[in-house]
């Protein structure tokens, strides 16, 4: 059992597009096992190879709960071949400790991938954590991070600031966020509200 070192934001490897795996051999199998060990140790539901510093198209997911037997899935060269609908839900990421906010995703995806035997498989996930995790981890393989997909940029900035990942004034962001929610709550149906903080300026300084 080997635990690998996690890479945290803003490590540049997280922004790279990962390379396709051409041969599924013993080294890929060992890497997948080490990634699963690392994911379980860190209480994650998914982990992509760039998050341990390896820029290859490999990711692991296990969405089983603690009282269930483990159900690891290893995805090699995963590709979404169908996607539709939408769902909004809370996400976190092992490369962003203590940062959680809502992200919008497709509510149904069909993913094609290879398994550790090199066989090509297809998997459909709909309206569940697996569906969300597949999209989050494939984004990692493309160098895309969930902070680019936050439903509320302000909430994302607040979480990032509180976690010490960006510079900012957490109290001011917090005030702005509560002002924004009361504005939204006070708006009548059909009314278009202009949210003054809905710009990207205070992100990622
Ligand atoms: Ni992640």
Query: How far is the centre of ligand 1, averaged over its atoms, from the C-alpha of 88 (Å)?
Result: 16
Whether 24 is in a domain gets the answer yes
pLDDT at 201: 35
Residue 164 lies inside a defined structural domain of this protein: no
| DSSP-assigned letters across all residues of the chain | --PPPPP-TT-GGGGSPPBPP----HHHHHHHHHHHHHHHHTT-SEEEGGGGT--BSEEEE----TTS----EEEEEEEEEEEE--EEEEEEETTEEEEEEEEEE-SEEEEEEE-TTS-EEEEEEESSHHHHHHHHHHHHHTT--GGGGBS-HHHHHHHHHHTTSS---HHHHHHHHHHHHHHHHHSPTT-----TT-SSTTS--
Tell me how far the alpha carbon of residue 63 lies from the centroid of ligand 1, in angstroms.
Answer: 14
Q: Which residues contact 144 (CB under 8 A, 6 or more apart)?
A: none
Measured in angstroms, how far is the CA atom of residue 137 from the centroid of ligand 1? 6
The token duo for 104 is 């919008």
In a domain, 109, yes or no: yes
For residue 92, report the distance from its CA to the centre of ligand 1, in Å.
7
pLDDT, residue 148, reads 96
Residues facing 3 on adjacent strands = none
**185 falls within a domain:** no
The pTM (predicted TM-score) of the whole model is 0.90
* Residue 191 located in a structural domain: no
Does 137 participate in catalysis according to the annotation? Answer: yes
Distance between CA atoms of residues 146 and 36, nearest Å = 21
- Is 160 part of any domain? no
pLDDT of 51 reads 98
Interval between CA 192 and ligand 1 midpoint (Å): 33
Based on the structure, what is the number of domains in the chain?
A: 1
Q: What is the pLDDT along the chain (205 residues), one digit of tens a residue?
A: 789 999 999 999 999 999 999 999 999 999 999 999 999 999 999 999 999 999 999 999 999 998 999 999 999 999 999 999 999 999 999 999 999 999 999 999 999 999 999 999 999 999 999 999 999 999 999 999 999 999 999 999 999 999 999 999 999 999 999 998 888 888 776 766 555 444 333 333 3
Which of these is catalytic: 79, 91, 137, 191? 137
What is each CA distance from 39 to 14, 58, 135, 141, in whole angstroms? 17, 13, 17, 16
CATH number of the domain where residue 38 is located: 3.90.45.10
Query: 172: number of CA atoms within 13 Å, CB side?
Result: 7
For residue 77, the model assigns a pLDDT of 98
| Residue 204, pLDDT score | 34
Q: What is the pLDDT of residue 194?
A: 57
The verdict on residue 165 lying in a domain is: no
3-state secondary structure 129-169: HHHHHHHHHHHHHCCCCHHHHECCHHHHHHHHHHCCCCCCC
Domain that residue 68 falls in: 12-151
The answer to the question of residue 29 being in a domain is yes
pLDDT of residue 185: 82
CA of 150 to the centre of ligand 1 (A): 13
């Amino acid at each position: 059992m080997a635990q690998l070192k996690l890479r945290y934001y803003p490590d540049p490897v997280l922004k790279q597009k990962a390379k396709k795996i051409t041969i599924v051999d013993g080294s890929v199998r060992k890497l997948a096992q080490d990634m699963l060990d690392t994911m379980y140790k860190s209480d994650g539901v998914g982990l992509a190879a760039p998050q341990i510093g390896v820029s290859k198209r490999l990711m692991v997911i296990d969405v089983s709960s603690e009282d269930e037997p483990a159900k690891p899935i290893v995805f090699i060269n995963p590709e979404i071949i169908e996607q539709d609908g939408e769902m909004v839900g809370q996400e976190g990421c092992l490369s962003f400790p203590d940062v959680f906010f809502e992200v919008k995703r497709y509510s149904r995806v069909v993913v094609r991938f290879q398994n550790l035997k090199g066989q090509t498989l297809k998997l459909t996930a709909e309206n569940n954590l697996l569906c969300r995790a597949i999209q989050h981890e494939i984004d990692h393989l493309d160098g895309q991070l969930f902070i680019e997909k936050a439903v509320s940029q302000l909430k994302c900035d607040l979480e990032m600031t509180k976690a010490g990942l960006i510079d900012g004034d957490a109290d001011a962001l917090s005030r702005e966020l509560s002002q924004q929610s009361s504005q939204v709550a006070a708006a009548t149906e059909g009314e278009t509200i202009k949210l003054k903080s809905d710009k990207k300026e205070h992100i990622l300084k």
